[in-house]
Structure 1
Amino acid sequence: MERIILDVDSAGDDILAVLFAAANPNIKLEAVTTVTGAAGPIEQVTNVVLNTLSLAGRDDIPVHAGAWRPIVGHSKADMEAPVHFEKQLTARFGDRLKKFNPPAPTPKRQATPSHAVDFIIDTVMSNPGEITLVTTGPLTNAAMALLQEPRLTKALKNLLVLGGNFQTPGNITPVTEYNIWADPEASRIVLNAEVGKILVPLDICEDNRVATSMLTRDDIADMQAGAKDNPVLDMIADVFPIYIDIWREFFGLVGFPLDDVITAALAFDPSLATLTEPLFVDVLTDGSVARGQTVAYRGFQILPGGGPKTTRIGTDLDGRRFLDIFKKTIARYERAA
């Protein structure tokens, strides 16, 4: 069983990743830590996690709020654009957008007082070689933890990072993916760190080459056909059709990509993905369109450069097997008769 800390920014697929990690028998979810990102301010991000764990019946899992802003970031308008993404879709979807990243109701419990970064450091250093950190949002918390405690690179069992793109076009600019773009300085610290890691790029999540890994209305109907009393599935069936439709119409995908769930699943079964050999991966921190671009050092170049070869990049995914694991995990929320 993989002991993981899940670091999220509470966008739609983060919610599914929390539910997945809380129920999958191959994962022991030590805690969920939160970071400001695509869902909005840290209060919104944290309340979404608290409410999600309550729905899952897992109020025993600690939740620690983390970074409320990136180390540097971008202009205020650009940083807020992903949060206000739905404004571009109002004419097409109207009132249905009320189910897309709505304000979180007040949770029935509060987050644990200690900061996410302190929790990550304390837990990993107290359990050397046992904890895997899975980041599915901007990398601010992870970077701050590595800066404050350099020994983390030796104490972490593994690091899973959702972010970047290499062949698939970016979802912020043509060459940038949101998680890396949101905090390029933090991303560079994490990807340059001398700790073994798997990088899960858009290439194996948000590309129709891996369409079999995406959630569709048919998948929801299939899960409902075998369910009788599953409150988590009821929520998915109520909330996620609008996500499916947006990703089909705006991004041209066949369904809703489960990026965050894929990253969590790779923590206990990396064989789901085809991975490169360990490479050095860097992040551009200057420019405009290219700020936040991930660059993998491959091949042979004349100019010197590079760094620690510690990152294996996902290049393909067994989408059918992954989606089967996801469906079976959600089925575990079925209530006993």
Structure 2
Amino acid sequence: MAKYKMILDLDTGIDDALALAYALADQDCDLIGIIGSYGNVLVKQGTQNSLDLLSLLGAGSIPVYEGLSHSSTTSSFAVQPVSARIHGVNGVANLEITHTSTKVASQSGIDFLIDAIHKYKKDLLLVPTGPLTNLAAAIKQDPAITKLIGHVTLMGGALTVPGNVSPVSEANIHQDPEAANEVFQSDIPLTMVGLDVTTRTLLTQHETTIWRNLKTKSGDIYADLVDYYIAAYKETNPHLHGCALHDPLAVAAALEPKLLETVYLNMKVDTQEPYEGRTIGDETRLNLPATTTQVAVNVDVERFVAKFMERLTSLFEKN
């Protein structure tokens, strides 16, 4: 039996697709559901992408739930042009992935998350790889969940490096800084896996060639996804010489925290310009013990990339 129950909260673009595959491929993980969010794509596109990828990877029985479609302070959401460029207009490199007939689950993503936390308690891991709107809404609806859940490992933020959508702000946090601040100010146990560490973990066409050589449907599609992503990175981050494994690192670190070097820090998220979306230490809680919030500052790159390739290559061999 798998060691950990996991829920992914995805705005399913390309690195979310890699995170989904990692969760399916890791023997310590029992993926019990996916909650859709907005960000790289609109929420309905993202949930469809998740359903289609689960089907492609032989896991079509895992349910997908719809989360909130816009931030906690707005009434609508539009995809940024840079997101469409990096992930493709449809979030999956403009590929035509076969649509599954499976539909999104009828229960709301927020209610599913709350119910699952009450059911599995400390055995449940949540990995949000988009904005924190859904998690903040769940905490507001049922504050008790912060004491029940095992751990939250989120991809977002930037503590020791600049942001990627402003000098101080990372994209996921910037989508809903108010929600992110509510999560960071709560007592939920969490680890922030930010740009500090994710941009050290890179894939190149050397790795996608390995997948292509498997001659399987999933290997070909995932190679196409990542090659598109690498091409986008050549425009946006040419100094990296590859594409960053943002979201899959959060999944891997949720299952093996020792991949990361972290510091405990009471944090806040600035909600006003010019520092909107900045993830930083909370000066009002500086002298209080920091016991629930950790921030990743380094990563065992070699070990993570090796684990990532071993797991995904094995998964693609079978599908």
The two structures share one fold, judged by TM-score above 0.5: yes
Q: In the alignment, what sits opposite 2:311?
A: 329
Q: In the alignment, what sits opposite 1:219?
A: 207
Report the CA distance between 1:124 and its aligned residue.
Answer: 0.6
Distance 2:205 2:44 in 1: 31
Any idea what the Cα deviations from partners look like across 1:162-198, whole Å, max 9, x if unmatched?
1111222211111100010000111011111102111
Q: In the alignment, what sits opposite 2:131?
A: 138
Distance 1:255 1:127 in 2: 38
Q: In the alignment, what sits opposite 2:47?
A: 46
8 Å CA contact 1:71–1:185 kept in 2: the answer is: yes
User: After the TM superposition, which residues 25-174 of structure 1 pair with which residues of structure 2 at under 5 Å, given as runs?
Assistant: 25-39=27-41, 41-73=42-74, 79-82=78-81, 85-86=84-85, 100-101=93-94, 106-174=99-167
Q: In the alignment, what sits opposite 1:17?
A: 19
Partner amino acid for 1:260?
D
4+ residue segments displaced more than 6 Å: 95-99
Unaligned runs of 5+ residues in structure 1 are 90-94
8 Å CA contact 1:17–1:260 kept in 2: the answer is: yes
Query: Of 229, 253, 258, which aligns to 1:271?
Result: 258
- The answer on 1:182 being equivalent to 2:168 is no
Taking a change above 3 Å as real, the CA distance of residues 313 and 101 of structure 1, as seen in their structure-2 partners, is: farther
RMSD (Å), alpha carbons? 2.6
> TM-score, normalized by length of structure 1?
0.86
**Partner SS state of residue 51, structure 2:** helix
- The answer on 1:258 being equivalent to 2:245 is yes
8 Å CA contact 1:100–1:239 kept in 2: the answer is: yes
Partner amino acid for 2:79?
E
Partner amino acid for 2:69?
W
- The answer on 1:5 being equivalent to 2:4 is no
Taking a change above 3 Å as real, the CA distance of residues 148 and 329 of structure 1, as seen in their structure-2 partners, is: same
Q: In the alignment, what sits opposite 1:245?
A: 231
Q: State how many pairs are aligned.
A: 313
Unaligned runs of 5+ residues in structure 2 are none
Rg (Cα) greater in structure: 1
8 Å CA contact 2:84–2:90 kept in 1: the answer is: no
Partner amino acid for 1:291?
E
8 Å CA contact 1:99–1:242 kept in 2: the answer is: no
Distance 2:90 2:294 in 1: 37
Distance 1:120 1:184 in 2: 21
8 Å CA contact 1:46–1:63 kept in 2: the answer is: yes
> Please, which moves more after superposition, 243-252 or 258-267?
243-252
